[in-house]
Structures are given as C-alpha cells and as structure tokens.
Amino acid sequence: MTESLPATAVVRASRATFDPSRFAEVDAVNTKTSEYLIPAVTRLPGLIHFSPDGSMLQVSVWDSEEHSAQLNHLKEMVVIARGEMEAVGVKFTPIATYPVSWTI
C-alpha cells in the first residue's frame, strides 16, 4: 500500500480456527462467501484495503474505528457468511481492531 493513511486509520483482523481435516470444506465455503462478502464490504464507506486471501485471517484497513465497526452489523457478514462457515466447523475468535501507529 503506497497511499498515506489517515491518523484515525485502524486495521481490523478477523481470525478463525477449524479442524484441519475439514480444510477442503472450509476452503470451499470461504470461496463461496467471498463472492457476496467482498461486494458488500467494498460498498461500505471508509474501507482502504481488504485482504481475504490465504489462511483464516482476514485483514481490512479502515479510515476510522467507527467505519470498521460497520462490519459488526453487516448482514452478509454476521448472519449469512458466519452461519455458512460455522456449519463446516469454523470457530471465530473475537475480532480486534488496531490503530495504525506508523507505516513504512
């Protein structure tokens, strides 16, 4: 990321755990939910960057904690996707936000 961040910027980290023997199921559901979650998340104001790739750590960068908190109430996130992921054994840990104290 080369753009400058506002002084109020936060990083939101969503972590989850699951039984490794169910990786194929979790991966398939993660791919499925990304098809509707990414468009829903990108419509929210304040999003600077979203990275849903890789492991079950999803990181997004927001211009403020207030804007980051929108995801706590986004139906596609907290009802639909969460239900689909939990159905294949995914357990979510509490979501954390971190202020951006410096960038390189």
Q: Give the predicted TM-score (pTM) of the model.
A: 0.64
Contacts of 47 (CB under 8 A, 6+ apart): 41, 60, 61, 62, 67
**22-31, 34-43, 59-68, 90-99: lowest mean pLDDT where?**
90-99
What integer is the mean pLDDT of 26-50?
88
State the pLDDT confidence band at 56, using cuts at 50, 70 and 90. Answer: low
- Percent of the chain predicted with pLDDT > 90: 22
| Cα gap 24→47, rounded to integer Å | 30
* pLDDT tens, position by position, 60-80: 889 999 999 999 999 988 889
Structure token digits, residue 59: 């990181």
Angular region, 93: left φ>0, alpha ψ -120 to 50, beta rest = beta
